[in-house]
Amino acid sequence: MIFNRDIINHLKKGINFKNKNSNIVKLISIAALTIAFLLFYIYENSMENAITIDDLKRPDYSEAEKELDMQVSSQGKKFNTSIRIEPRMYTAKEISAIFSEISKILEDTLLGENSSIDNITSDVVLCSSVDAYPVTIQWLSDNYEVIDENGIVHNMLFEKDKSVEVVLTAILQYESYSAEYFYELTVKSCDLDEKNYPKKISESLEFAKNSNREEAYIYLPKEIDGELITYEKKADWDRVFVILMLGIAAIIVVIFGEKSKQKKRADIRKKALKNSYSEMVAKITLLIGAGMTMRKAWEKIVEEYQLKKLHKNIKSKAVYEEMTESMNQLKSGVSELTVYQDFGNRCDVREYMKLSSLLAQNLKKGSRELLSMLKIETQDAFEERKNQAKRYGEEAGTKLLIPMIMILFVVMVIIMYPALVNFNM
């Protein structure tokens, strides 16, 4: 089918025009909706901030007061203020009815575990308030020695079948209104049982303490209700426990302290053995190189050490003390093999155990290369000694780091203090 080109062009222009119109309609719709939402939000926000009758509602009688912050506009000006809204107040007629209701509640709660107000044998309950009522209650007693302000009944020292009349006064207070209610109670002696007997003993002791304050001594009661009683000091087990714990702690400290000292002594001994190893091996190598046997060389080194120790008063050295012990074993008839092995085990240092193994191998196999092996061991020992000296130097530098930092801090303070003083001035 063949279409006229002009008709097709007209159709295209019509479609483009419709598309442009639809886009404009969409933009206008979006703008209108945006403006509508903004106006709605502004209206809602103003309505939320507007003070309503509910905002000015007073709290209920027993609720706490509230404070309302507000903005006041007048004469074209705005300023902030607040109003404190206090709870509602009862009328005189209402509070009178409430006082009467509370008095009946108090009469019921007053008894506690007692059967009636005419037979009070245990403590009474004196409420300072009643739930759901904003009323404060104060109690007075006409005989505090029998019933005190806390409702505690002091009848433990009553004689059997004795009774005392006590009047309790409840003063109810609400704002400027008040009322008094009187309760006549008959307090009687209590029946002694497992619950009351300790209380009676406590009150008897309290009475003995407070009576005859002029006397030099307190005389404790010797009997209660015809029953003889005795007294003795209670053992202070807390102090015994503390002493026991201190003793155990001291034992633990001594044990661990001794172990620590032993470990420290062992470390010092191993360090001394390592430091003396190169010297000792060099002497053995030199004497064997001069033609001596291992036993003669050992004996020569021990003799020189003992002479120096005797005449020059040199300090004892662990390695030569161990060699002396080995020499004594040799003289007592112990075989050289056993002596050298024991020497290495006693020293308990890798280098000495290697040397004892070398000497034992020489005795077993008759090695002719002992001298060359000792020379190599001497060179290795001196190299190890030099490396050990380097490590000691590094450790010393590390230990000096903290004092150096402290000195640096002191120097910085000395330099900065005058500058700070001048700056403040």
Rounded to 5°, the CA angle 214-219-223 comes to 145
276 in the same domain as 383:
yes
% pLDDT > 90, the chain = 3
DSSP tag of 122: S
Position 237 in a domain: no
Same domain, 164 and 264: no
* Same domain (yes/no): 187, 259: no
Same domain, 186 and 309: no
**Is the domain of 153 the same as that of 285?**
no
Domain with residue 159: its CATH number is 2.60.40
170 and 274 part of one domain: no
With the C-alpha atoms ordered 343, 347, 349, 351, is the resulting torsion angle positive or negative?
A: negative
The stretch 293-316 carries a mean pLDDT of 85
> What mean pLDDT, rounded, does the chain reach?
78
Q: How many other β-carbons are positioned within 10 Å of the β-carbon of residue 135?
A: 23
Model pLDDT for residues 306-330, shown as the tens digit of each residue: 888 888 777 888 888 888 998 999 8
- Digit-coded pLDDT (tens) for 385-400: 788 777 777 777 777 7
In this prediction, residue 171 has a pLDDT band, given cuts at 50, 70 and 90, of: very high
> Where among 169, 191, 213 does a domain terminate?
191
Of 146, 164, 191, which residue sits at a domain end? 191
pLDDT surpasses 50 at 2: no
> Which range marks the domain in which residue 156 is found?
93-191
Distance CA 117, CA 310 (A): 104
User: What spatial distance separates the first Cα and last Cα of the chain, rounded to whole Å?
Assistant: 103
In whole angstroms, what is the distance from residue 290 CA to residue 351 CA? 24
Q: Looking at the domain assignment, is residue 107 inside a domain? A: yes
- Answer yes or no: is 347 within a domain: yes
The model's pLDDT over 218-231, given as tens digits with 9 standing for 90+, comes to 777 676 666 677 76
Per the structure, the count of domains in the chain is 2
The mean pLDDT of 10-17, rounded to a whole number, is 49
